[in-house]
Amino acid sequence: MEADIFKALADPNRRAMLERLAAGELTGSALGQGFAISQPAMSQHIAVLRGAGLITERREGRSVHYAVNPDGMAPLHDWLSRYQAFWPERLGRLKDFLKEMDQ
C-alpha cells in the first residue's frame, strides 16, 4: 500500500493530475484537458492513483467525478515522519507538537 503510493507519485503526469484535483473535483474528461496524452492513458493513470488510494471516484450519469482522497496521503506522511529526526530544528519540533495534540 505504501509502495503503491510511492509508485503512483513517481510519475510526473500523475502528480500533475493530483495537483489539478487539489483545486476541486473534476470529471475524467475535464481532468484530461491540458494533458498531451490520450484518453486511455489518462484512464490508466487514474486507475493507478485510485489503486494507491489517493483519489476517490463518484459516478454521475455517464461521467465520473474524481477527487483527492483526504486520507490517501496519510501513509506517506507517516513514512516521512520517521525522518523528522533528521530535519532542521524547526520541523523537528512539529513531532512534539503532534504528540501533544494526541493527548
Partner DNA sequence: GCGACTCATAAGTATTTGCTTATGTGTTGG
Partner DNA sequence: CCAACACATAAGCAAATACTTATGAGTCGC
Residues that bind DNA (CB under 7 A): 7, 10-11, 13, 27-30, 32, 36-41, 43-48, 57, 61-64
37-44 long-range contacts, Cβ below 8 Å, gap at least 24?
37/13, 42/17
Contact between 9 and its own copies (CB under 8 A)? yes
* Residue showing cell 513517481: 10
Contact between 37 and its own copies (CB under 8 A)? no
Residue 55's DSSP bridge partners are: 68
Pick from 59, 62, 82, 99: which binds its own copies (CB under 8 A)? 82
d(CA 93, CA 84): 9
**Smallest distance, Å, CB 51 to DNA?**
10
